[in-house]
Amino acid sequence: MSGLISRNLKMYFNDRSGIFFSLMGAMISFVLYLAFLSQNMITSWSKVPDTKLLLDPWLIGGTLTITAITTTLSSLSLMVKDRESHVLADINLTDISYVGIQFAYIVTSVFIGVIMQLIMYFIMGIYFMIVDNSSLDLTIFPQVFGISILSSFTWTIFNLLLLSFVKKVDTLGKISSIIGTASGFFAGVYMPIGTLPTTMQNLMKYTPAPYNSAMYRNILMNAQLNKSFNKLPVSVLSKFKEVMGISISWNGALTFQQDLLIFISFALVISICVFLISRISRRLVLSKV
């Protein structure tokens, strides 16, 4: 199986333009933020001190969620391509079992998701360190690393479910651009979740995306939140957290642990769906030459 995993990894990392496009959603959010989002938000939260230092990690959190969604999708797309170009049938001739083949694509995708999130984390962190004098706090790295694994896994499973229905490479391109754009909204990056209409907010809450961003933001912004809000009333802090999607509210704000729990539940439910569907898709793969 290691043979297939290393082949899949090489396929991803050898394809420079593929990497570029898989990071498109993340780069758009970054550029939008630099161009005007950040200024808008600083103005609307002018009574909070050091807003910029607060918003930089806020952006990083959301952008990492986008990165997890789009890079795992891009990595898993290889499976659809391989199916269509008969590569899967050819791999099936080797000693790797069918389950092993599926597993190899999943491992590859989780791995790529983690690596790309960490790369984005350091790129953005260092950028803001240079430009805004934000600090890149390495003591929280273990938590960031943990969340990156969890989100990479969840989005891999999510995208696996999505791609079970995709049989043509044609469709793949369309799906990636839809997901690329939608991820920025659902992760609450293009616009803070609290500024959206309630129906839209509710729709978002039925996907894992806002919880993913919330977890990241909790970890990344914790230190600065304490600093910026220590002279302000608690109600202002709660309001800020809710509007900015740092805590998601379901009849009251969720804690980090609750976000985590909901996120893991999503992963479990989706895993079960994938398992049920894989029985059908196996027949499809093996019947197709």
Partner 1 sequence: MKLLQATSLTKKFQNKIAVDNINLTINKGDFVVFLGPNGAGKSTTINMLTGIIQPTSGQIEFDEKTTINREYRNKIGVVFQSSVLDANLSVKDNIMTRAKMYNKPTQIQLLINKFNLESIWKQKYGSLSGGQRRRVDIARALVNNPELLFLDEPSTGLDIQTRTAIWDVLNQLRHDTGLTIILTTHYLEEAQTADYVYIIDQGKIIAEDTVSKLQKQYTKNILTLYYQNGESKELTVNDKNQAIKILSDNSQAISDFEYRPGTMNDVFMNLTGKEIR
Site residues (vs partner 1, CB under 8 A): 1-4, 6-7, 10-11, 14-15, 85-87, 89-96, 287, 289
With beta carbons less than 8 A apart as the criterion, state whether 62 and 117 touch: no
Report the nearest approach of partner 1 to the CB of residue 265 (Å): 36
The CA-atom distances, in angstroms, between 29 and each of 62, 166, 181, 185, 225 are 9, 27, 10, 10, 22
Report the nearest approach of partner 1 to the CB of residue 100 (Å): 9
Report the nearest approach of partner 1 to the CB of residue 194 (Å): 44
Report the nearest approach of partner 1 to the CB of residue 75 (Å): 14
Residue among 15 and 137 whose Cβ is closer to partner 1 = 15
List CB contacts of 154: < 8 A, sequence separation 6 or more.
Answer: 68, 208, 212, 263, 264, 266, 267, 270
| DSSP code, position 92 | T
Residue among 92 and 201 whose Cβ is closer to partner 1 = 92
List CB contacts of 34: < 8 A, sequence separation 6 or more.
Answer: none
Residue among 95 and 138 whose Cβ is closer to partner 1 = 95
* Residue 145 C-alpha from the chain's centroid: 13
Token representation of residue 34? 């630099």
With beta carbons less than 8 A apart as the criterion, state whether 76 and 132 touch: no
Report the nearest approach of partner 1 to the CB of residue 242 (Å): 46
Report the nearest approach of partner 1 to the CB of residue 85 (Å): 7
Residue among 24 and 96 whose Cβ is closer to partner 1 = 96
Token representation of residue 255? 């804690």
Instruction: Name which of 246, 23, 222 is nearest 121 in CA terms.
Output: 23
Report the nearest approach of partner 1 to the CB of residue 111 (Å): 15
* Residue 55 C-alpha from the chain's centroid: 18
Residue among 98 and 256 whose Cβ is closer to partner 1 = 98
Residue among 97 and 133 whose Cβ is closer to partner 1 = 97
Residue among 89 and 243 whose Cβ is closer to partner 1 = 89
> Which value, in Å, is the radius of gyration of the alpha carbons in the chain?
20
Instruction: Give the other-Cβ count within 10 Å of 32's Cβ.
Output: 16
Cα dihedral value 60, 207, 198, 184, nearest 10? 40
